[in-house]
Amino acid sequence: MPDSASVRVPSNVADLVRRAAAGPGAGKPALLWQDQTLTWAQLDELVDGTARALLELGLPAASGGGDAATGYPARVAIVLPNVPDFAVAYFGVLRAGLVAVPVNPGYTPRELRQVLSDSGACVLIGEADIGDLPIPHRYATAPTAPGTPVEPDSGGEDLAVLIYTSGTEGDPKGAMLSHRALLANHEQLAQVEPPPVTPDDVLLLALPLFHAYGLNSCLGAVAYHGATGVLMERFDPTEGLRLIARHQITAVVGVPPMFVAWSLLTDCGEAFASVRVAVSGAAPLDPAAAGRFLAAT
């Protein structure tokens, strides 16, 4: 396990996991899912294992100038729901100096093949029907390999994530996000009062992690602050309230339909008793719905 003296100022997004694992909260839960708990130290070890396995493939990485044809590192598609393996795969890809391509696991085979082909992914993590699309390296779950801790030699302006739009107008299009851009988002939000997330928070991770909002504003925020995230595979308002009450969740980041659905449930107020901050984003929240939610909680 790394100690605090060996951890640099974050430049690679995966440094956030290493920093949390090296600090006093190393034994604190990082992720909770069903009956599974991963501490920050355990998550860091799993991320190292995945980074090592990917490095052993000898793929073009940021440190080597990337792929000769594109100039970018190899792309790794992550086709997984909100489960711990998503976080392991995501941070492992970044620690290996490669580019993560989060993909909606609910895509049809045609949609999936279009994104994989457009991104140029040469590694696929997750179970998906891709037909005869040539993906050289395929894993049902995040791969792992034994060895020593991996120190990233990429970050800053290097490409970190290729994330695809919803495709409401034509096929989905990939948006390029650097490590610096993702980290700057956290540094900016850390200046907000009251802070949306703190190290003491337990955050509901109900938004899809393949979406930028769920990926960086939720999972990324948990890692940035060394907080705790409670994973929810698919949003259901009743199950969401159960998880909030069970884990004494203190921060909820969501979209308007989530808060509308909760405002209509009679036990919303009781479940939200532990929540100190609730954030609605990505679209306007109807004032009447916001009023019902506030009255209920």
pLDDT value at 64 more than 70: no
In this prediction, residue 208 has a pLDDT band, given cuts at 50, 70 and 90, of: very high
Q: What is the mean pLDDT of residues 201-222?
A: 95
How far is the C-alpha of 89 from the C-alpha of 258, rounded, in Å?
27
Nearest 5°: the CA angle 185, 75, 173 is 65
Whether the CB-CB separation of 112 and 124 falls below 8 Å is answered with no
More confident residue, 285 or 255: 255
Q: Given the DSSP bridges, would you call strands 137-139 and 174-178 parallel, antiparallel or unpaired?
A: unpaired
pLDDT value at 7 more than 60: no
How far is the C-alpha of 54 from the C-alpha of 36, rounded, in Å?
25
Q: What is the mean pLDDT of residues 266-294?
A: 85
pLDDT value at 190 more than 90: no
What pLDDT is stored for residue 67 in this prediction?
65
* CATH number assigned to the domain with residue range 4-234, chosen from the 4 options 3.30.70.3270, 3.40.50.300, 3.40.50.12780, 3.40.640.10: 3.40.50.12780
What pLDDT is stored for residue 133 in this prediction?
80
CB atoms within 10 A of CB 64: 13
Q: What is the mean pLDDT of residues 250-267?
A: 91
pLDDT value at 223 more than 80: yes
Nearest 5°: the CA angle 288, 167, 189 is 55
Phi, psi (rounded to 5 degrees) for 130? -115, 10
Q: What is the mean pLDDT of residues 180-199?
A: 89
SS3 annotation, the chain: CCCHHHCCCCCCCCHHHHHHHHCCCCCCEEEEECCEEEEHHHHHHHHHHHHHHHHCCCCCCHHHCCCCCCCCCCEEEECCCCCHHHHHHHHHHHHCCCEEEECCCCCCHHHHHHHHHHHCCCEEECCCCCCCCCCCEEECCCCCCCCCCCCCCCCCCCEEEEEECCCCCCCCCEEEEEHHHHHHHHHHHCCCCCCCCCCCCEEEECCCCCCHHHHHHHHHHHHHHCCEEEECCCCCHHHHHHHHHHHCCCEEEECHHHHHHHHCCCCHHHHHHHCCEEEECCCCCCHHHHHHHHHHC
Give per-residue pLDDT as tens, 110-135.
889 999 999 999 999 998 877 778 88
What pLDDT is stored for residue 3 in this prediction?
44
Q: What is the mean pLDDT of residues 133-156?
A: 92
Give per-residue pLDDT as tens, 83-99.
999 999 999 999 999 99
Q: How far is CA 211 from the centre of its chain?
A: 9
